[in-house]
Structures are given as structure tokens and as C-alpha cells.
Amino acid sequence: MRALPLILLLSASVPSVPAGALTLTQMETSARILLRDSASDVSYQRFSQATLDGYLNEAQRQMQNDSWLYQGSFSMDFVAGQIEYALPADYITTVRVTVANRAITQVSFAGLDGGSAGDVGMDWTVATSTPMTYFIDSFVSGTPSQIGFNPKPRYTTTGGAVFVQYVQQVPLLVAGSDVPFAGNSELLPYHDALVDFAAARCWMLLG
């Protein structure tokens, strides 16, 4: 885990706005106060709503990329003989993978081709058993990353035998009622930092 010492497992969806949270509209207003910009009369505004929203989203994205605070998880099942499975579209990187409540380790393609999977040149895609390692395949341009398992599963499972915890991309702030980090209450202290970032970037535009 990088940067900030806080380690959180966050839900991908929070149904309501927590008390004390800042919505996108409120952050726009707060940023304009810092900028001494008009919050009510568009004709007197030096910075457009699109400019402020762009910087607020940039701040949220950079904070996530630097800290990996926003995480999610999902369960899946094996299909007998199938090596790779699609990952969610908001996937950034994997935190932990378990099979039947047992953690398995990540392995690289180099390890599969000539190390942990056996002798150099061995076709590791042939063996079937209970998967002991996983790998991430991100090399197909224009398609979501895939998670693969070695050895490939011998049996089809049911009931979500595989559990994947991963770092997510944060949802864009678009509607005025949107709240940073999908409204997770654990991240309320960081809302003001997003406003400060956006205001600072606007001041830089003024020289």
C-alpha cells in the first residue's frame, strides 16, 4: 500500500449522502469562495463550472492513484478448464485473491513460463488442478484486464468460491448531488482537499 497510512476497504455503492459530506455543487461554491469568484451570477464568473468540475475530478483521481483508498470486491466462480476471466471495468490493481477462503499469490508470466510452473518451455496452460496462483493479463489493447489462474481449474464451482479485493477507479463527479468517492463516509475529511486543489489550479491559470 502506498502513500497515506489509512487502509480502507470501501463499498462500490453507498445509497445515501452521509451527514457532513460535500456534494459537487457545494464544492463548486466553496472553490469560488476561495477564488473570490461569483457563485450566483454567471456573467461575473472568471471560471466556468466545467473548469471547476474538471479540476475537482482531477483531484479525486490523483488522490486515489496516490493512495489506493477506494477499494471494492467481488466474488466469482471457476469454469472447468477456463484459465482467464474478465475483471470489472473500474479495475486498477489487485489487493488480495482467495480461493475457498485460502489466499493465493500473484505470479508473473515470466514465472509461469520458466519458474514456478515448472521447467523452461513447459506449457503451463495444460495442467488442471486447484489453482494455486493467479496472474493479471493486461496485454490485449482495448479490452478490460483479465485475471487468470494456474493451474487452470479442474472443476466448475458455485457459490462464489473465488473472492477478489481490488483497487477501483473512482466514479466521475457529474451531477450536482454527486459526492466524492461514491459518498463513502470514511473519506469525508478529504473533501476539503479536493476543493483546495481545484482552487489552486484555477489560481495558477491567472498567473
pLDDT (mean) for 27-48: 87
* Mean pLDDT rounded to a whole number for the chain: 85
Cα 75 to its chain centre, rounded Å, is 16
Provide the pLDDT for residue 121. 52
Cα 166 to Cα 181: distance, rounded to the nearest angstrom: 15
In this prediction, residue 166 has a pLDDT band, given cuts at 50, 70 and 90, of very high
Residue 30 has pLDDT above 80, yes or no: yes
Residue 6 has pLDDT above 60, yes or no: no
In the chain, what's the furthest Cα-to-Cα distance? 71
Cα 106 to Cα 102: distance, rounded to the nearest angstrom: 13
Cell of 161: 468460491
Cα 168 to Cα 158: distance, rounded to the nearest angstrom: 25
What share of the chain in percent tops pLDDT 90?
A: 62
pLDDT (mean) for 98-119: 80
Task: Decide: helix, strand or coil at residue 86.
Answer: strand
